[in-house]
Amino acid sequence: MVSRTFRTRAMAATVAVLALGLAACGSSGSGDSSTDAATGGGDSGDLINVGFSQVGAESGWRAANTKSIQDTLTKDNGFDLKFSDAQQKQENQIQAIRSYIAQGVDYIAFSPVVESGWDAVLEEAKQANIPVILTDRAVDSEDKSLYVTFIGSDFVEEGKRIGEWVNDNVATEPINVVELQGTTGSAPAIDRKQGFEDATKGNPNVKIIASQTGNFTRAEGKTVMEGFLQANPDIDLVYAHNDDMALGAIEAIEAAGKKPGTDIKIVSIDGVKDGMQALADGKINYIVECNPLLGPDLADIIKTLHSGGTVEPRIVTHDDAFDQAAAKEALPTRQY
List the one residue from 61, 100, 150, 286 that touches ligand GZL (CB under 6 A).
Answer: 61
- The nearer residue to ligand GZL, 236 or 244, going by C-beta atoms, is 244
Question: In the complex, what is the shortest distance from the CB of residue 178 to ligand GZL, in angstroms, rounded to a whole number?
Answer: 18
Count of other CB atoms within 10 angstroms of residue 329: 10
Task: Show Cβ contacts of residue 47 under 8 Å, excluding neighbours closer than 6 positions.
Answer: 35, 39, 75, 78, 79, 80
Question: In the complex, what is the shortest distance from the CB of residue 181 to ligand GZL, in angstroms, rounded to a whole number?
Answer: 11
Question: In the complex, what is the shortest distance from the CB of residue 329 to ligand GZL, in angstroms, rounded to a whole number?
Answer: 23
- Mark the segment that binds ligand GZL (CB under 6 A) among 28-36, 59-67, 219-227, 257-265: 59-67
CB-count exposure of residue 295 (10 Å: 0-12, 13-18, 19+): buried
Q: Does 137 bind ligand GZL (CB under 6 A)?
A: yes
Q: Does 68 bind ligand GZL (CB under 6 A)?
A: no
Task: Print the binding letters for residues 192-231 with ligand GZL: x by CB under 6 A, - otherwise.
Answer: ------------------------x---------------
Q: Report strand pairing: 321-322 vs 286-289.
A: antiparallel
Question: In the complex, what is the shortest distance from the CB of residue 13 to ligand GZL, in angstroms, rounded to a whole number?
Answer: 27
Task: Print the binding letters for residues 289-318 with ligand GZL: x by CB under 6 A, - otherwise.
Answer: -x----------------------------
C-alpha–C-alpha distance, residues 65 and 310, integer Å = 24
C-alpha–C-alpha distance, residues 38 and 47, integer Å = 9
Which of helix, strand or coil describes residue 329? helix
Burial 36-47 (b: 16+ CB within 10 A, else e): bbbbbbeebebb
- The nearer residue to ligand GZL, 61 or 100, going by C-beta atoms, is 61
Q: Does 161 bind ligand GZL (CB under 6 A)?
A: no
As beta bridge partners, residue 31 has none
Question: In the complex, what is the shortest distance from the CB of residue 272 to ligand GZL, in angstroms, rounded to a whole number?
Answer: 7
Q: Are 285 and 261 in contact (CB under 8 A)?
A: yes
Q: Does 149 bind ligand GZL (CB under 6 A)?
A: no
C-alpha–C-alpha distance, residues 228 and 155, integer Å = 25
Q: Are 133 and 111 in contact (CB under 8 A)?
A: no
Q: Does 179 bind ligand GZL (CB under 6 A)?
A: no
Q: How many residues line the site for ligand GZL (CB under 6 A)?
A: 15
- The nearer residue to ligand GZL, 25 or 189, going by C-beta atoms, is 189
C-alpha–C-alpha distance, residues 309 and 10, integer Å = 8
Q: Does 270 bind ligand GZL (CB under 6 A)?
A: yes
Which of helix, strand or coil describes residue 58? coil
Residues lying near ligand GZL in the complex (CB under 6 A) are found at 58-59, 61-62, 136-137, 152-153, 188, 216, 242, 244, 269-270, 290
